[in-house]
Amino acid sequence: MKEMVGAAAESPRWELYRLLGEPRRLRLLGLTSEDELSIGELAELTREAQPNVSKHLKLLREAGLVAVRRQGTRAFARLSPELNGDPVLADAVRSGRELCSRDGSLSRVAEVIRARDEDARAFFEQPPTEAPASGLGEWSAYLTALRTLVPQRGLAVDVGTGDGALVELLAPLFDRVVAVDRSEERVKAAERRLASRYYQHVELIRAEYDDAAVASRLDELGLADAVFAVRLLHHAPKPEKVVSLLASFAKPGGQVVVIDYCAHDDETMREHRADLWLGFEREELIGFAKSAGLIDPEVFTIPATRYGPGPDAHLQWQVLAARRGHN
């Protein structure tokens, strides 16, 4: 059991007992001890109205038992990470988890999290409005010449490749490129983009990113010198888990490179682009890297003049770069 939080211990004990005497609050403690969940997800799991969930979460947050993080207009709650070993609070969490186990809500947490990206799946299964065309021209020849500047260039992996734009840049630089996307339409678009290039050393795989077939293929080829994920994290139900997956694809000393948005407040990106998260703070990305066991994480922004004219050009882009350790 994690240690329990200190704020509640500073209040009179009778106030703590009164707070924990409500089964609905105990269930919220149990659910938020399992994973970080939005108020809407907690309402779905507990079959309570969102205003009621918000009211009870407010009391738990004020007592220091639950931490609430805002993402645009949404709020996510988790059991507070600042804990102090109070046996009463530890028992409250256990009791809450038991209540949630009995009513089945605890076992449905994973299902609720998987459902986060249903809109994104539907969005990316739509055929692209225009067939992607190669725009590299003579740049492909220049990149081939520059490959001598890449010291470790055996294998690159592009996770969430989309229409294959990054693959077209990576192919002249690396001996082999594996690109993975879970959308059939996006893989088809990547095939069309790359068809005229005759890249015999590029392999496109349609699969979930954590599919055993992807890991098995990388076992056959050897782990990657470089792993890339471009504008993928903001669609991931659990971004931290994705960074850990990227790290597992890299060989010791291999590089992991993530491009995604800085934190923003444009809620229209949820509706029009099926974004799940409104970007990330620098500290979040560094935290993801460290949790994945990556070393020397670096986060820096990309100048806006380099984004192109796309629907997300008004957002600020950033890069997380880190290496897999040798241990």
- Reported CATH class of domain 8-117: mainly alpha
Look at residue 231 and give its three-state secondary structure.
coil
Residue 2 reports pLDDT greater than 50 = no
% residues pLDDT > 70 (the chain): 92
Average pLDDT, the chain: 91
Lowest-confidence region among 69-78, 118-127, 195-204? 118-127
Look at residue 67 and give its three-state secondary structure.
strand
Question: Which has the closest alpha carbon to 162: 176, 134, 182?
Answer: 182
Alpha carbon distance 134, 176 (integer Å): 19
Contacts of residue 250, defined as CB under 8 A and 6 or more positions apart, other chains included, come to 223, 224, 225, 226, 227, 256, 323, 324
Residue 307 reports pLDDT greater than 70 = yes
Higher pLDDT: 145 or 13? It is 145
Q: Per-residue pLDDT averaged across 278-295, rounded?
A: 97
Q: What is the pTM of this model?
A: 0.82
Of the options 3.30.360.10, 3.40.1010.10, 3.40.50.150, 1.10.20.10, the CATH number for the domain spanning 122-324: 3.40.50.150
**pLDDT tens digits along 34-68:** 999 999 999 999 999 999 999 999 999 999 899 99
Higher pLDDT: 138 or 154? It is 154
* Pair of tokens at residue 320: 């997380």
What are the extents of the domains in the chain?
Answer: 8-117, 122-324
How sure is the predictor about 176, in pLDDT bands with cuts at 50, 70 and 90?
Answer: very high
% residues pLDDT > 90 (the chain): 74
**pLDDT tens digits along 237-286:** 999 999 999 999 999 999 999 999 999 999 999 999 999 999 999 999 99
169, 143 contact by CB (below 8 A) = yes
How sure is the predictor about 308, in pLDDT bands with cuts at 50, 70 and 90?
Answer: confident
**Most distant CA pair in the chain: distance in Å?**
75
DSSP β-bridge partners for residue 227: 157, 256
Q: Which helix (H) or strand (E) covers residue 261, if one does? A: strand 250-261
Residue 3 reports pLDDT greater than 50 = no
Sheet holding 250-261, edge to edge: 202-206, 176-181, 155-159, 224-230, 250-261, 317-324, 294-302
Residue 234 reports pLDDT greater than 50 = yes
Residue 82 reports pLDDT greater than 90 = no
| Cα-to-chain-centroid distance, residue 147 | 30
